[in-house]
């Protein structure tokens, strides 16, 4: 059924693309044709992905999957859901202030063209491209073994915080750069100091861009597996503290699918994970729109 649905989406993409080409060829507007085709293909692929996961997962959604305790009979995902929220909240709360303040220093205080600033930016861009499994190995060697945290939530939080830090720094930096300098000059002309201008004038204007970076970082944490497998562990129990091992929803999906006995339950967990990501994005967009309304 899902294969037929994908074929229908592909045929619709071809038909709409052909229609757009026939419509625009008289104007020799090939760019509009390619843009239309790209948009249709992108949303079509997203629809196929969401439809496939949901169609496979919904039949296996049952109350036992949300039991308080995990057993081999119910393969409950509730401990993984709670662990996911703990990891996301703690890691984002730890990385966001550091990333935002670092970006403020780079944009507002550091001398433009400074070698130190260029080195920091190069390091952030390099760290952003490192595979997550490398972060996981580092977290296991440093936090789990050298500091003695073991496979625990605190090891996972510290590791993913380091992983998403470059993303938050770069997105915040670009958001601050997008703020017109005339706004800063107007604030200075009214007698406001540097710090007051940054927190009362610049940050509110740049907030939608900062929130977008935080949302991207949140999505990366929610979908992370390799990094957390080496630091958080894969325990199925309900977490009873920051030094206990557990597993997130993404790890739960991977472990169930790799075992081969609970593939249907893995699809059900993936459905919940997908819905969770959609809810997070929806809430974040609402917050960003609220800041845009205040700014306007």
Q: Which two tokens stand for residue 131?
A: 């595979």
Backbone angles phi, psi at 238, to 5 degrees: -70, 130
pLDDT of residue 211: 87
Calculate what percentage of the chain has a pLDDT beyond 90. 19
In sequence order, the 6+-apart residues with CB closer than 8 A to the CB of 46 are none
pLDDT of residue 101: 92
In sequence order, the 6+-apart residues with CB closer than 8 A to the CB of 139 are 155, 156, 158, 159, 162, 227, 230, 231
Radius of gyration for the chain, computed over Cα atoms and rounded to the nearest angstrom: 23
Q: Tell me the pLDDT of the chain averaged across its residues.
A: 83
Residues in the chain: 296
How many angstroms from the chain centroid is the CA of residue 104? 22
Nearest CA-CA partner of 222 in 56, 61, 86: 86
Burial 138-156 (b: 16+ CB within 10 A, else e): bbbebbbeeeebbbbbbbb
Nearest CA-CA partner of 166 in 228, 100, 229: 100
pLDDT tens figures, 245-262: 899 988 988 888 887 788
pLDDT of residue 190: 84
pLDDT of residue 212: 84
pLDDT of residue 137: 92
Burial 223-244 (b: 16+ CB within 10 A, else e): ebbbbbbbbbbbbbebbeeeeb
pLDDT of residue 97: 93
- Our CA angle for 102, 207, 294, nearest 5°, is 155
pLDDT tens figures, 194-248: 888 888 888 888 888 888 888 888 888 988 888 899 999 888 888 888 898 899 9
Reported pTM = 0.82
Which residues of the chain are modeled with pLDDT < 70? 1-31, 33, 288, 291-296
In sequence order, the 6+-apart residues with CB closer than 8 A to the CB of 9 are 44, 45, 47, 48
Under a CB-based contact definition with an 8 Å cutoff, are residues 46 and 205 in contact? no
End-to-end CA distance of the chain: 47
| Maximum pairwise Cα distance, the chain | 69
């Amino acid at each position: 059924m899902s294969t037929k649905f994908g074929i229908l989406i592909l045929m619709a993409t071809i038909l709409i693309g052909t229609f757009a080409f026939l419509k625009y060829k008289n104007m020799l507007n090939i760019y509009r044709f390619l843009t239309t085709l790209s948009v249709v293909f992108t949303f079509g692929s997203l629809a196929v992905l969401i439809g496939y996961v949901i169609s496979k997962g919904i039949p296996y959604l049952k109350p036992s999957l949300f039991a308080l305790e995990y057993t081999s009979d119910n393969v409950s995902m509730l401990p993984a859901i709670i662990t996911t929220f703990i990891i996301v909240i703690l890691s984002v709360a730890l990385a966001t202030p550091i990333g935002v303040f670092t970006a403020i220093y780079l944009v507002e205080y550091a001398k433009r063209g400074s070698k130190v600033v260029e080195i920091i930016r190069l390091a952030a861009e390099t760290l952003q491209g490192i595979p997550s499994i490398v972060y996981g190995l580092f977290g296991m060697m440093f936090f789990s073994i050298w500091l003695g945290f073991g496979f625990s939530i605190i090891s996972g939080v510290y590791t993913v915080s380091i992983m998403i830090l470059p993303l938050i720094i770069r997105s915040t930096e670009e958001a601050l750069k997008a703020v017109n300098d005339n706004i800063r000059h107007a604030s200075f002309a009214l007698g406001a100091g540097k710090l007051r201008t940054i927190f009362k004038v610049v940050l509110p204007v740049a907030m939608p861009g900062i929130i977008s970076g935080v949302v991207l970082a949140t999505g990366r944490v929610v979908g992370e597996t390799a990094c957390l497998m080496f630091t958080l562990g894969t325990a199925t129990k309900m977490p009873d503290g920051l030094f206990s091992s557990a597993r997130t929803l993404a790890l739960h999906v991977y472990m169930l699918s790799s075992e081969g006995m609970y593939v249907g339950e893995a699809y059900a967990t993936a459905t919940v994970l997908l819905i969770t990501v959609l809810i997070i994005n929806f809430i974040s967009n609402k917050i960003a729109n609220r800041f845009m309304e205040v700014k306007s």
